């Protein structure tokens, strides 16, 4: 299945983004994460490495499903349209899984930004110096706003 969209090396592009973000090769980053203290809380780097591994798993599943589909399609027309559709569905599911996991990696790379959720703590990251100075807006309408006005019909 060779069209312009599938010729893009998603894993390669993502790996380059990770290497640029951490300013080191992927193998070196994996070694740094593995050398971290046992039982230490997850860091952005360890989460990125973990999710990158899942992207690689999804890519392998995609490659296998695509190869099986190509093999079936190259053998000629078949009366078994259900198995072919099942293979097409496997290719699509593997691609969706890979893309979703790649999005998580990209989100993790951007989570260093102020106000981004802290994945490791499960809470929003603390914003430095941006404390609320105004009261929170009410979430319910005031009684005057919801009361019918004289001279107006409630039904339009």
3-state secondary structure of 123: strand
Go through 31-41 and write b for each residue having 16 or more CB atoms within 10 A of its CB, e for each that does not.
eebeeeeeeee
Judge whether residue 23 has pLDDT over 50.
yes
Q: What is the pLDDT confidence band of residue 150, given thresholds at 50, 70 and 90?
A: low
Q: What is the pLDDT of residues 63-112, one digit of tens each?
A: 999 999 999 888 876 666 778 889 999 999 999 999 999 999 999 999 75
What is the chain's mean pLDDT, rounded?
76
CB-based contacts of 56: which residues, under 8 Å, 6+ apart?
A: 11
pLDDT at 154 over 60: no
Rounded CA-CA distance 103/97 in Å is 10
């Amino acid at each position: 299945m060779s069209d312009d969209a599938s010729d893009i090396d998603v894993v390669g592009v993502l790996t380059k983004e990770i290497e640029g973000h951490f300013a080191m090769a992927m193998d070196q980053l994996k070694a740094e994460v593995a050398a971290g203290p046992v039982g230490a809380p997850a860091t952005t780097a360890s989460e990125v490495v973990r999710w990158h591994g899942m992207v690689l798993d999804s890519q392998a599943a995609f490659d296998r499903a695509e190869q099986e589909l190509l093999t079936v399609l190259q053998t000629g027309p078949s009366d078994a349209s259900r198995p072919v559709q099942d293979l097409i569905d496997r290719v699509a599911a593997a691609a969706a899984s890979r893309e979703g996991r790649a999005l998580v990696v990209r989100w993790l790379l951007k989570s260093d930004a102020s106000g981004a959720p802290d994945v490791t703590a499960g809470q929003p990251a603390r914003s430095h110096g941006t404390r609320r100075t105004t009261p929170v807006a009410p979430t319910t309408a005031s009684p005057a706003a919801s009361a019918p006005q004289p001279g107006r019909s409630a039904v339009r």
